[in-house]
Chains A and B, each alone.
Chain A
Amino acid sequence: MPETAATRDAYGKTLERMGERYPEIVALDADLSESTRTIWFAKKFPERFFQMGIAEQDMIATAAGLASAGKVPFASSFAIFASRAWEQVRNLLCRAEINVNLCLTHTGISVGEDGASAQALEDIAAFRVLPNMRIIVPADDIETVGVIEFLAADRNGPTYVRLGRSKTPRIHAQDYKFVFGKASVPREGKDIAIIACGVMVGKAMEATEILAAEGIEARVINMSTIKPIDADTIIAASKEIGKIVTAEEHSIIGGLGGAVAEVLAENAPCSMKRVGTRDTFGESGTPDELLEKYGLQPHHIAAAAKSLL
């Protein structure tokens, strides 16, 4: 695969750059700024960075106050720890339509050695159910840059951006343009459609090579905006191909697979398999060991695809 970078790194760099362009941007963190990369913004704009300590609920509601008075906050922590403020997100950010950008890192099983307590596998489901919430899962560093540039200028949040800890293969070319709410198709194919998000887009691209060796041509759809989901692209894949695999580094319950199934069931039912964690917590291990054990490697996606043919 081509060169790799973590989406959190691209977030930190782009946030710093957007901070120069937009003086109203502020950032908040809950004692994880080194890990979430908000520290780069903090060093450049110390007066516009708010270290909130280990207090995620306070951080998110403070960000809401800043936004209500004209600021554009980016608030970061690990996804699972910010999820403890789900009700602040619901009752304040979503109910009052407050433009706070929750850019949360360390998602999925590839968090690795820290184990189950730090591996967010339910966050997409937990936030997807909230009215007014937008959810974006960038596939690589290039797309992350586009997402953060978009959010810096667009002020129609709240938005959850799901970022990863580990280096991720680069899927997109430098000139890729992220379009909010629109899936991209990094690979065309006629036999099976693989709809993926985040790090699993790279895994899906690798799976297409396994499948191609057996004469199976797979289409890969990068569903980077999970809410609002690009229903047209899903329905077209169902009508044109009729066999769909979803792949996400998240529970198969309520995440990308759930969202795609909802669209298909009501609009264009077809055969489908969901690749993701299967109603389970993770554990300690290296990212690769965990991705293997929990069924999230390219060969798992390829096997799911072949089971539909």
Chain B
Amino acid sequence: MEKTTDISRLKEIARQIRIDILESTFAAGSGHPGGSMSAVEVIVALYWSEMNHRPDEPHWPDRDRFVLSKGHACPVLYAALARAGYFAVKELKNLRKLGSFLQGHTDMLKTPGVDFSAGSLGMGLSFANGVALAARLDKKDYRTYVMLGDGEVQEGQIWEAAMTAPHRKLDNVCAILDYNKLQIDGFNKDIKGLEPIDEKWAAFGWHVIRIDGHDFEAIFKALDSARTTKGKPTIIIADTLKGKGVSFMENQAGFHGRCLKPDEMEKAREELKEVLK
């Protein structure tokens, strides 16, 4: 598949994936576009540059793994997998439909390229640690990337796993926190605040990098730093905007779990005609 670090090309892929997210959830009549839009640049950077993977061989044993722990954001993953060539782009319109291999939350048994069945929050970091332990036992150098939601880190199991990875010196694990500051019922800070989030992860023994999660250059720099950091796992805390890319969706909790209405879809298509600045 196409691999690139050309920023203008990556921005064009991101633009296309944002449209795919909105069109697929619009066709489904439901889904989680907000937290999908916030994760676009990180996922594009992973699939088009950072990760070793083979769309024509989804179960290639030496592939880098991507664990989408915030499984409700699967529209962005499905769009990325389709655009990367794991399956036909036209399948995206079957999202959430009966019999579709694109389930409402990820299903590793059904979707080519999906490495983790998510939907219930809090389990992905533990799973990623398990994969990383297996890689170490087998003396393989594939890496495991795991994307966490910000509301998700309110789950206690995240902190169990956050203790495990540094204890085992899992430098082949890279977590990315999609920190868009919003969860279903509102802002994290009003529900159960996460701050100081950098210090929490650092205190648990992680190499912490904080970036603008929509800036490709910053993402690549962070991934380079993660890959070259030895003896401890890395977490990239990516400051992002929920609903990024469509003006009326940005920073709105309401678009966590609802798709666009027809008139909103029209406006969004118009806004997404050009790549983001």
Which residues of A are in contact with B by a Cβ distance under 8 Å?
Answer: 26, 47-48, 50, 52-53, 55, 57-71, 87-88, 91-92, 95-97
Contact = CB atoms under 8 A, between A and B. Distances in A.
A91 B119 contact: yes
Contacts of B132: 65
B120 A69 contact: no
Contacts of A68: 108, 115-116, 127, 130-131, 134
Contacts of A97: 109
Contact of A71 (B119, B120, B137): B137
A87 to B, nearest CB: 6
A91 B105 CA distance: 11
B127 A70 contact: no
Interface residues of A: mostly helix, strand, loop or mixed? helix
Interface residues of B: mostly helix, strand, loop or mixed? helix
Given A50-B133, A71-B137, A97-B109, A62 B126 contact: yes
Contact of B131 (A47, A53, A55, A65): A65
B153 to A, nearest CB: 14
Interface string B131-147: 11111011000000000
B163 interface: yes
B160 A48 contact: no
Contacts of B130: 61-69
Interface size class of B (residues with CB under 8 A): 20 to 34
Contacts of B123: 57, 61, 88, 91-92
B138 to A, nearest CB: 7
Nearest to A52: B164
Residue among B107, B122, B123, B130 with max Cβ neighbours from chain A (10 Å): B130
B163 A53 contact: yes
Given A70-B138, A91-B119, A91-B120, 8 more contacts: A50-B133, A57-B126, A58-B129, A58-B160, A61-B126, A62-B133, A66-B131, A70-B134
A158 to B, nearest CB: 13
A97 B126 CA distance: 17
A26 B128 CA distance: 16
Residue among A53, A59, A69, A88 with max Cβ neighbours from chain B (10 Å): A69
Nearest to B157: A57
B61 interface: yes
B237 interface: no
